[in-house]
A and B are shown apart, each in its own frame.
Chain A
Amino acid sequence: MADAATTDVVTLEILDRWVRLGAARLDAEAERLTALDSAIGDADHGTNMHRGFAAIVAKLDAAPPQTLAEFFKAVGMTLVSKVGGASGSLYGTLFLDMGKNAPDGTSMSAAEWNRVLAAGVAGVVGRGHAEPGDKTMIDAFTPAVAALDDAVAHGASLADAAAAAATAAERGSADTEPLVARKGRASYLGERSVGHIDPGSASTALLLRAFADALAGEAA
């Protein structure tokens, strides 16, 4: 087995490790995410995301995908049906659109990963019509893709690029705290949404950190 920490390609094996690590961390962090959501939403984001990723793990166990496109489609459709609400459709769209833009086969380069993730995020923007600053997952995704773009353009290793993207997402999520929510259920709260981190941006940061860690060899 190749040393995962020095891999230059995103393989099916890494993707599999990623969503399993994501599922484990969503399990551990479900209460924190739900607490964030109870402040400005309907108090179910942690539970919903954990349920969705647990279902993904079960699906991967039952029928391991054979290509990148199959992997992303399986993940996306599971999230659509199991998560519910905007998060299910938006994360579902992310993965479905990543699948539509994934290269043939079972692995992709850093530049391809960059393009695939950017296409998925573009799909989320198109679906939810959120802009940066609206206090949504886009506030984590946008800086993450920008950091990934920048790292790949400067020839960074895949591991470094993924870590930079995760750090940018975490910063972007933290920066949602002073914002007024302009999309989703939290927007009904108006000014009262100020002072709370957006739960969708927090789960985005969690997932992108899990990707960087899975790439570095960490497993659930």
Chain B
Amino acid sequence: MIGFVIVSHSEPLAHAAVDLAMQMVHDEAPPVRVASGADGGFGTDAAAIADAVDALADSDGVVIITDLGSAVISSELALELRTSTVPVRISDGPFVEGITAGMVRAATGGSLDDVAHEAAAALAAKRPQGSPASPGAPTSDVLAPDGASTPDASIDAVLRNPMGLHSRPASLVVKAAGGFDADVAIADVTTGAGPASAASLIGLLTLGVSEGDIVRITATGAEAAAAVDAIRRLVDDGFGELAAASA
């Protein structure tokens, strides 16, 4: 699994951000090390970051997520100071969203490339729905509307939960999709948004699916039908968010 080094000027900030992200992780959590502060105060310590990376030497790769500017400088220096050879990416993603999206992707078995991309693209979830992406922003999580190949399985379902496809249900979709040998995508048929890869929390959030929207769940791969069925059941069930409303 991919591990994380959280580099923050503030130790409470780092731990709070990790705790927040853990709300979205429903599987075995990825290994996380916090490297924060310098000599007891605000700051960053390249030697501590190097130690944190080395502590994750047994993982499949490490994504470093940073807060303010000098955290990047210290992380770059740490890569010179470390002794392990585990592959490392320093993410330029936003701190809170990047930790959350990256950890969800890592928990579902994403590669270093997958996790680094997910963290880097995490700012997309903050853009107003329907607004054009900022120049140069990654958009590859939203797949081309008409893919070259037809999916092996496809089904339409109505999203029932009042809050729409927000981060908690989206993380459940990511988890469910990750359990099958299939590439799963979700599109909002009502608004025309997507499709977005079901492997990407951020991609799903950018769809902005609301209550009552028809979603199209498509999949290709050996277990396409089972994957589509599993996610349809989540949607039909309102992601477990209907119980309170109907009780």
Contact = CB atoms under 8 A, between A and B. Distances in A.
Contacts of A128: 73
B28 to A, nearest CB: 33
Interface residues of A, number: 23
Interface stretch (A18-26, A84-92, A211-219): A84-92
A126 to B, nearest CB: 9
Interface stretch (B44-52, B90-98, B108-116, B178-186): B44-52
Contacts of B39: 51, 81-84
B29 interface: no
A51 B45 CA distance: 14
A127 interface: yes
Given A89-B70, A89-B74, A84 B47 contact: no
Interface string B68-88: 111001101100110000000
B41 interface: yes
A208 interface: no
Interface string A83-124: 111101110110010000000000000000000000000000
Indicate the member of B48, B73, B80 with the most A CB atoms within 10 Å: B73
Contacts of B55: none
A104 to B, nearest CB: 22
B37 A84 contact: yes
Given A89-B74, A184-B70, A42 B42 contact: yes
B38 A88 contact: yes
Nearest to A83: B38
A23 B226 CA distance: 68
A80 interface: yes
B54 to A, nearest CB: 15
B46 A92 contact: yes
B46 A80 contact: yes
Contact of A89 (B9, B41, B68, B73): B73
Nearest 4 A-B pairs (CB), nearest first?
A84-B43, A84-B38, A86-B70, A89-B74
